[in-house]
Amino acid sequence: MKPFDEYIALAEQAHGHMCAGQVLGLRLAIHGCELLGIDDPTGKDRKRLVTYIEIDRCATDAVMVVTGCRMGKRALKFRDFGKMAATFCDLATGRAVRVVALESSKQKAREMFPHIEPKNAQQMKAYREMSADDLFSHQWVRVTVEPQDMPGYKGPRVTCAQCGEGIAFQREVTGADGSTLCRACAGERYYEPV
């Protein structure tokens, strides 16, 4: 692992500013890697790790800095659970650990540094200094990373029978009439055509 101040600089550069969420995300990812015994996630161990992140906030950018996992490399998976949590999967051993930020860490930050304002500065300082046990809980879990979800997977592309767009990674669905549809045409749109 890199020195923490180096991670701080990298996270600030990647995210555009430094905040408590960034510090928490750095610590969360470092803790997950340490629990798995992954010492160099962006170097010699870079192909061992897949990370599932459960929130789309500041911490996510910090997790990417520590782990090297990126969506574009198919090593970062987003599950929108709205939780400050991530699951770190070691592809070499099959082990996985889910790390969750404790809600009590906010109160602990207030107790540690009541004289620091604003709250963001208070939490940034506290999150750097708190023990991992005061910041996180963790649980060993089983995660099955399907072949089509693995980094580097190359699979067939199919075409949606309705819109004509290409679909990769076996994300197509079968329509009621047996046709091949993309998820949007099958009714899972997050957008509405105008």
Mapping DSSP onto H, E and C, the string for the chain reads CCCHHHHHHHHHHHHCCCCHHHHHHHHHHHHHHHHHCCCCCCCCCCCCEEEEECCCCHHHHHHHHHHCCCHHHCCEEECCCCCCEEEEEECCCCCEEEEEECCHHHHHHHHHCCCCCCHHHHHHHHHHHCCHHHHEEEEEECCCCCHHHCCCCCCCCEECCCCCCEECCCCCEECCCCCEECCHHHHHCCCCCC
Q: Please tell me the predicted confidence (pLDDT) of residue 156.
A: 87
pLDDT band of residue 85 (cuts 50, 70, 90) is very high
pLDDT band at 154 (very low <50, low <70, confident <90, very high): confident
Q: What is the pLDDT of residue 24?
A: 96
Spans of all domains in the chain: 4-148, 155-188
Residue 84: pLDDT band with limits 50, 70, 90: very high
pTM of model > 0.85: yes
User: How does residue 166 score in pLDDT terms, banded at 50, 70 and 90?
Assistant: very high
User: Which tens digits make up the pLDDT trace of 103-116?
Assistant: 999 999 999 999 99
What's the pLDDT tens digit per position in 41-54? 999 998 999 999 99
- What pLDDT score was predicted for residue 184? 95
Instruction: Work out the average pLDDT over 161-179.
Output: 93
- The pLDDT tens digits of the residues spanning 3-43 come to 999 999 999 999 889 999 999 999 999 999 999 999 999 99
Q: What's the pLDDT at 152?
A: 84
| pLDDT tier for residue 68 given thresholds of 50, 70 and 90 | very high
Residue 65 confidence class, pLDDT cut points 50, 70, 90: very high
Q: Domain 4-148 classified CATH 3.40.140.10?
A: no
Give residue 169's pLDDT: 86
What pLDDT is attached to residue 22?
95
Question: 133-147, pLDDT tens digit by residue?
Answer: 999 999 999 999 988
According to the model, what pLDDT value does residue 193 have? 84
